[in-house]
Structure 1
């Protein structure tokens, strides 16, 4: 099991939560970005050429059974959903078989509105609640797989 982050447009707080969890559970973490993004991490950062969906193609290529995907991209999520332990949206909810069709449909409707010259609501300011919800989702998956971990004295017990 690995945590794979779609690094394009991934909030810094989400990256930090993933890094902390990967460290605590000794899980491999891979952040995939294109050359237009500069990311520094103690974990693996894969840099791909800039291009439409180049990060998505790389993630699909390297994704293995039971990996966890962190993304905002519903199309990418739908491609790995069948073999993922979990797909977690950066806003703090699971993308799964129960909601993927609705999410893809809402994306499609938004694209049609924009293509016709209309405006759709852009991204809202990130909230503390989203960070907390994301952390709960990620740790839920890790606990289900590995159980609870005891951390160093300086850190809390999960």
Structure 2
């Protein structure tokens, strides 16, 4: 069964993602630290001690090939892609092997500016258009993940 793994700390689309994923018979799992305790009925929530990357490492260890991950953390996204997952952010942007290097570079440059005392723009205020875009793209990725998982399982059964 496909899993939907959500880096739930600060994720504004948890409920929308849970609703959509239920239509694809996915097993949703929320990951958060003790300062964000996010729980939903009939959904597994994994709560880890607060600490740098503690949620990320727990999520990576639960991940299997073709699972879906929602995160805004480019470092976590890169690790998930390496394990064969489908990854997107809360705005519906898919992270792939084609764009992850550029996103990581942007993150690095922004951190460098902040360390030097500069300022970078924060995220824009969330709009209904963001939710619509997320849902449309998430449904497309769900379809692709279901197909990929099915093909992979057929291949594994033959071998």
TM range (shorter): 0.7 to 0.9
The answer for unaligned runs of 5 or more in structure 2 is 148-159
Aligned pairs for 1:3-152 within 5 A: 3-11=4-12, 14-42=13-41, 43-146=43-146
Checking the alignment, whether the CA contact within 8 Å between 2:86 and 2:145 is kept in structure 1 is no
Q: Provide Cα deviations, 1:80-110, integer angstroms capped at 9, x if missing partner.
A: 1033341011111100011101100000000
How many residue pairs get matched?
145
Aligned-residue CA RMSD (Å): 1.4
Distance 1:54-1:145 versus aligned 2 partners, 3 A rule: closer
Q: Provide Cα deviations, 1:12-64, integer angstroms capped at 9, x if missing partner.
A: xx111111122222210001000001212121111000001110011111111
State the Cα distance separating 1:146 from its structure 2 match: 4.4
The answer for unaligned runs of 5 or more in structure 1 is 148-158
Query: What TM-score comes out, normalization by structure 2 length?
Result: 0.86
**3-state SS of paired residue (1:120):** coil
Distance 1:20 1:105 in 2: 33
**3-state SS of paired residue (2:31):** strand
Query: What TM-score comes out, normalization by structure 1 length?
Result: 0.86
Distance 1:78-1:111 versus aligned 2 partners, 3 A rule: same
**3-state SS of paired residue (2:23):** helix
